Chains A and B, each alone.
Chain A
Amino acid sequence: MPALDLLDEGEPLVLRSLPIDASLEEVQRHLGGHEFSVHTGQNDQNPLFGLVPSDQNSFCYQNSASADPFAARFLLQPFSSTKTIIHGLVAPAPEEGDRLASLLHYNTQLTRFREEVESSISVSADLWLEDIHRPTHGRRGIVLSTADEIEVEVVKKWKAATDIAGFELRPAGTELPTFQPGAHIDLHLANGLVRQYSLINGPGEQGCYQIGVKLEQDSRGGSRFLHEEVQEGDRIAIAGPHNNFGLRRDTPRTVLLAGGIGVTPLLAMAQALDRTELGFTLHYFAQSTEHLAFQDRLGELGNRLRTHIGLGPEETMQTVEKTLGSYDHLSQVYSCGPPQMINAIRDTASSLGWPPEAVHYEYFKNEKTIDQLSAFEVHLARSGVSLSVDSGKTILEVLRANGVPLPSSCEQGACGTCEVAVLDGVPHHQDVYLNDSEHEAGNRIMTCVSRAHSKQLVLDI
């Protein structure tokens, strides 16, 4: 800390310390550009002073040349990720008779500064979360508490490839939860839609989330809104991260098979594996080299990346077959991409002798036509309640209508959020989240799309 003669000689005036509900970085950012006024006793003639950072947590000002020398030092004490305490000293100390007026003056100045900092982060956050971007339509009848939502700012939006936009999201005020490779977040969009996007961050990249969004030609409003409406500087509510696509990190050979935008969770996995001694290869199938997204991250993978450009469905599956080979107990495969591609990969792996537990996949959407004709009873074992699910209604809807809250996300049987354990009865699975052996076991069900073959299902809730 530099010597400030005025402060170090004699007794400075110790100002009232003020806690500010903002991170250290936010307070530093504002303090650099803020002007305070010196207390002289004559209000209209108080000269202004700006503080200069002297080290990370301390800001100083000194004017010893003029006829009225003055110095100030403000110390920022980081209290938590959302609270910073500002401690101030000024010199010379006023005469005893002016002491209280001087303390009041600087307290008012600091209180105004606090309002400036806090209004830049939290006021807009409240407005945003409570009034504007909260989905208001009935579909998400049960909104989990606001504590589960995080408000983020779009700090960067860029073209990651043809039809793919990259977004970097930074939190306003709080810290982001950590996550495992393969995880996704829910985006609560201003048009009321909720969409899931995988995080592409590599290991150790904290402080922001990066996602890739493909503009879907048949967009139901999610990807089009993100591509066309959302701009840098906008604020979005997100929830999560959730991980339904976990990566095993004990496998000597991991095969990552990505089709198009399905690269996003696999890119996070590849970067994580790249920091280990475990063997892996990321196979990336794309229409053209212009469709390869996040080239900078891909470049880091070196020869662990194989790109396959412009292959038709048959050539793709021949390549997959060659790549997988016969099952050898030391391998795991993870795939993500268009549903037809995942279906084909699962079939191929199965015919090559790969057991279901070694074949992992994540569908971004469920393209099956959902049959909603059946009518049946659900008995909730823990709640002791029986409810009828009529045709046209889902189990999830009936549960919610009767006051049984259940989290959900995609509501098309792809994400696994609304899973419930089945104690008795035969489920009619229509999801793409569980694999075949899990479907056969019949002890779990995705309540948003799946139904019952039996007259009654007993659920463990």
Chain B
Amino acid sequence: MITLYDYELSVNCYKVRLLLNFLSVPHKLHSIDFFPGWEHKSEWFKEINPLGHIPVVDDDGYILRDSNAILIYLATKYDDGLKWYPTQQAELLGEVSQWMMFSEGTTNTASAARLHDSLGYEFDIDACRSGAHRLFRVLDEHLWFREQQNLPWLCSAEFPTLADLVIFPDVILSEEGGINRVSYPAIRRWTDRFRRLPSFSLMAGVLPAGTI
């Protein structure tokens, strides 16, 4: 059985919950009192992850930290069709990896702005917001041209991949960091499609499809 060390409001934990639910992998959540308890910095948790970060999964004793690593592991092991992380298709896998790298940028800007506004993290909020808008412009342009080719997702496949999954949470929660998405119609349509996927799971701040 998989245990996910989890915090409801964490974007990175949400990514893992999304994939576990998409893949219908049985799991249990171990809630960490991230705020205000800072339990992820506690002695007992640092024995599991010396970095003091969540999420961490424990798959019958196999312990893995870092959301991207966890997602790659889960998708490779539990996705029978190998679609979320298409290890058998070199070009497609390259694209997926490229956009997973891109999500480092959205996490450091859009999600950082959200942490600044909601949890009081000390970031340069103006730099976070303008950085997020720069990335969102690139994302919106890319998605618009995908649509022109009848491709609904970030990568050249008819199905969503980890690329969509890791970028979606940063984007859908951006308004909690003061970054609105009025200028990005293609992004808004893409988030709508993503939220209509079967077994899609919500979190606080993420509304069902059809809303903004």
What residues of chain A have their CB less than 8 Å away from a CB belonging to chain B? 16-17, 19, 79, 83, 99-100, 103-104, 107, 111, 146
Contacts and interface: CB of A to CB of B under 8 A. Distances in A.
B88 interface: no
Interface of B: 126, 141, 144-145, 148-149, 182-183, 185
A19 B136 CA distance: 12
Contacts of A79: 182
Given A83-B183, A100-B149, A16 B126 contact: no
14 contacts: A16-B141, A16-B144, A16-B145, A17-B185, A19-B182, A83-B182, A83-B183, A99-B148, A100-B145, A103-B148, A104-B145, A107-B145, A111-B141, A146-B126
Contacts of A146: 126
A19 B182 CA distance: 9
Contacts of B185: 17
A460 B154 CA distance: 57
Given A107-B141, A146-B126, A19 B183 contact: yes
Contacts of A83: 182-183
A111 B145 CA distance: 14
A344 B154 CA distance: 76
Closest 4 A/B residue pairs (Cβ): A19-B183, A16-B144, A100-B148, A103-B148
A17 B182 CA distance: 13
Contacts of B145: 16, 100, 103-104, 107
A305 B157 CA distance: 78
A79 B182 CA distance: 10
A268 to B, nearest CB: 34
A83 B183 CA distance: 9
Contacts of A99: 148
A79 B126 CA distance: 22
A45 B182 CA distance: 37
Contacts of B182: 19, 79, 83
B133 to A, nearest CB: 8
Contacts of A104: 145
A96 to B, nearest CB: 12
Given A17-B185, A99-B148, 6 more contacts: A19-B183, A83-B182, A100-B148, A103-B145, A104-B145, A111-B141
B86 to A, nearest CB: 24
- The residue among A19, A79, A83, A100 with the most chain B CB atoms within 10 A of its own CB is A19
Contacts of B126: 146
A29 to B, nearest CB: 21
A101 to B, nearest CB: 11
A118 to B, nearest CB: 11
A48 to B, nearest CB: 23
A79 B183 CA distance: 10
A337 B183 CA distance: 50
Contacts of A111: 141
A150 B167 CA distance: 34
B41 to A, nearest CB: 26
B137 to A, nearest CB: 9
B23 to A, nearest CB: 34
A19 B149 CA distance: 22
A148 to B, nearest CB: 14
B15 to A, nearest CB: 29
